[in-house]
Amino acid sequence: MALDKNGIAKRIAQEVQDGYYVNLGIGIPTLVANFVRNDINVEFQSENGILGMGPFPFDGEEDADLINAGKQTITALPGASFFDSAMSFGMIRGKHVDLTILGAMEVSENGDIANWKIPGKMVKGMGGAMDLVASAENIIVAMMHTNRAGESKLLKRCSLPLTGVGCVTKIVTELAVIEVTDKGFKLIERAPGVSVDDIRKATEGTLVVEGDIPEMIL
What residues are labeled active site? 47
Determine if 107 is a binding residue for another protein (CB under 8 A): no
Residue 178 three-state SS: strand
Q: Which is nearer to another protein, 112 or 174 (CB)?
A: 112
Which amino acid, 21?
Y
For the segment 78-97, give every residue that binds another protein (CB under 8 A). Answer: 82-86, 88-89, 92-93
Determine if 128 is a binding residue for another protein (CB under 8 A): yes
As a whole number of angstroms, the distance between CA 64 and CA 212 comes to 51
> For residue 156, how many C-alpha atoms fall within 13 Å in the half-sphere facing its CB?
2
Among 4, 37, 41, 56, binds another protein (CB under 8 A): 56
Determine if 148 is a binding residue for another protein (CB under 8 A): no
- Other CB atoms within a 10 A radius of the CB of residue 134 amount to 13
Determine if 135 is a binding residue for another protein (CB under 8 A): yes
Quote the least distance from Cβ 148 to another protein, whole Å: 19
| CA nearest neighbour of 33 among 52, 48, 60, 50 | 52
Task: Report how far apart the first and last C-alpha atoms of the chain are (Å, whole number).
Answer: 13
As a whole number of angstroms, the distance between CA 3 and CA 158 comes to 24
| CA nearest neighbour of 114 among 168, 150, 151, 71 | 168
Among 57, 77, 152, 179, binds another protein (CB under 8 A): 57
Mention every residue, 6+ apart, whose C-beta is less than 8 A from residue 39.
none
Determine if 134 is a binding residue for another protein (CB under 8 A): yes
Which amino acid, 64?
A
Q: Applying CB under 8 A, which part among 68-76, 97-105, 143-151, 197-205 lies near another protein?
A: 68-76
As a whole number of angstroms, the distance between CA 128 and CA 102 comes to 11
For the segment 23-52, give every residue that binds another protein (CB under 8 A). Answer: 46-50
Among 7, 29, 111, 164, binds another protein (CB under 8 A): 164
Q: Which is nearer to another protein, 46 or 173 (CB)?
A: 46
Q: Which is nearer to another protein, 40 or 123 (CB)?
A: 123
Determine if 61 is a binding residue for another protein (CB under 8 A): yes
Among 34, 37, 41, 72, binds another protein (CB under 8 A): 72
Mention every residue, 6+ apart, whose C-beta is less than 8 A from residue 37.
13, 16
Residues within the interface to another protein (CB under 8 A): 46-50, 55-68, 70-74, 76, 82-86, 88-89, 92-93, 112, 123-131, 134-135, 161-165
